Homo-oligomer: A and B are copies of this chain.
Amino acid sequence: MEPSFRKIEYSDYHKRYFDLLSQLTVAPVCNQDDFDSFVYDLTDNHIIFVLENDQNRIIASGTVLIEQKLIRNMGKVAHIEDIVVDKESNGKGIGKKLINKLTEYAKEQGCYKVILDCRDNVVPFYEKCGFVKKESEMALYF
């Protein structure tokens, strides 16, 4: 059966979502009001798709941030962020299906490209998803 991704919901707060995010990076549980406020503020241009398993646990998540530009005929660019699949669900192709879901969404929204930053060890994964290596990511931490 194909995984059925859906938009994040308020009730995901109770579905071990922060356990999943903690597999990505430091992600302490926020309080529920802040979570609700975060979900409320999401829009068509800032959206999170998740996958829930049959034990009511979120096992995959990915964000799309859509940026309206002036260049390229007022083109729109989709930034993919914070891709994570639960380590116990690795090897089932969920990651690729999640990326396909996010890129399809970006296409429906009229974006001319999708970009993301990733570590070198997952470059081959994104190449299998149709991406090509472009520029270098630079970062400045405060």
Contact = CB atoms under 8 A, between A and B. Distances in A.
Nearest to A18: B70
This chain's copy number in the assembly: 2
A36 to B, nearest CB: 12
Interface in A12-43: 17-18, 21, 24-28, 30, 34-35, 38, 41
Given A115-B117, A133-B136, A142 B70 contact: no
Nearest to A117: B135
A107 B142 contact: yes
Contact of A130 (B74, B106, B132, B140): B140
B70 A21 contact: yes
B132 A140 contact: yes
Interface string A124-142: 0011011111111111111
Given A30-B73, A71-B24, A141 B118 contact: no
Contacts of A113: 139-142
Contact of A131 (B106, B120, B134, B138): B138
6 contacts: A21-B71, A41-B68, A79-B79, A118-B138, A131-B139, A132-B138
- Sort A-B residue pairs by CB-CB distance and give the 3 closest, nearest first: A131-B138, A117-B135, A27-B71
Given A30-B74, A113-B142, 4 more contacts: A112-B142, A113-B139, A115-B137, A123-B138
